[in-house]
Chains A and B, each alone.
Chain A
């Protein structure tokens, strides 16, 4: 079935780095834009970034621009988010999702905690 599975979350110190991965299955990954969306504990949803199907176009929220990098490997059906210079306010569940306009498939999320 159509599925997205995130991994790579964990506890990291302020200023540290982390790389999230998202494995896609059940659909033609290379046909779709993909996105990362996060949710701080007890808070609402915040779009983080998206990438076009061929990686030619990316876009970022102002809150992460210059610190996070989205990428994908269509041969591996995988999406990535490289997060550098992490801050306490980056603490959240990070979801990968299919789409650019509306997000029709979501993963279960991976928790990122930034704390000393």
Chain B
């Protein structure tokens, strides 16, 4: 099983700032199979990024994904008030696994 480790656990930032979230895999992941999700309290997760860098339908271009192999990054260029949430990375190897999440909170 591929283990995904996200860092930091919590990111305290102000609206307008740039957020950089990291996802590290225990073994190499095909870029085609790395996704990012956003989850707000009481809501289902929402797909943001798939294939490591492709934005899902309707996702604003302030969200971008990058990386390959074992190191992947989600960047939010300028935080909007609605972006404060928990973010998960996810990979598909033999079976899908998720990272433990990064909480982006208002500083």
| Residue positions of A touching B, CB distance < 8 A | 35, 44-47, 50, 59, 61-62, 95, 100-104, 106-109
Lowest 9 A-B CB distances belong to which pairs? A102-B50, A106-B44, A102-B35, A47-B96, A45-B98, A101-B92, A104-B47, A44-B100, A44-B101
Q: Which residues of B contact A44 (CB under 8 A)?
A: 88, 98-101
CA–CA, A35 to B88, complex, Å?
17
Task: Please pick, from A47, A104, A107, the residue contacting B50 in the complex, using a CB distance under 8 A.
Answer: A104
Q: Which residues of A contact B57 (CB under 8 A)?
A: 104
When A61-B95, A101-B32 are in contact, do A45 and B45 touch as well, CB less than 8 Å? yes
Task: Please pick, from A46, A59, A101, A107, the residue contacting B98 in the complex, using a CB distance under 8 A.
Answer: A46
> Looking across the interface, which residue of chain B has its beta carbon closest to that of A60?
B95
CA–CA, A47 to B57, complex, Å?
22
Contacts A/B (CB < 8 Å), 12 sampled: A35-B96, A44-B99, A44-B101, A46-B98, A47-B90, A50-B96, A101-B32, A101-B33, A103-B45, A103-B47, A104-B50, A104-B56
B40 part of interface (Cβ distance < 8 Å): no
Q: Which residues of B contact A100 (CB under 8 A)?
A: 92, 96
Q: Which residues of B contact A103 (CB under 8 A)?
A: 35, 37, 45, 47, 90
B46 part of interface (Cβ distance < 8 Å): yes
Q: Which residues of A contact B33 (CB under 8 A)?
A: 101-102
Q: Which residues of A contact B96 (CB under 8 A)?
A: 35, 47, 50, 100-101
Q: Which residues of A contact B98 (CB under 8 A)?
A: 44-47
Write the B92-107 contact mask toward A (1 if CB under 8 angstroms, else 0).
1001111111000000
CA–CA, A62 to B37, complex, Å?
23
Write the B55-88 contact mask toward A (1 if CB under 8 angstroms, else 0).
0110000000000000000000000000000001
Q: Which residues of A contact B39 (CB under 8 A)?
A: 45
CA–CA, A95 to B100, complex, Å?
17
CA–CA, A103 to B33, complex, Å?
11
> Looking across the interface, which residue of chain B has its beta carbon closest to that of A46?
B98
Q: Are A45 and B88 in contact (CB under 8 A)?
A: yes
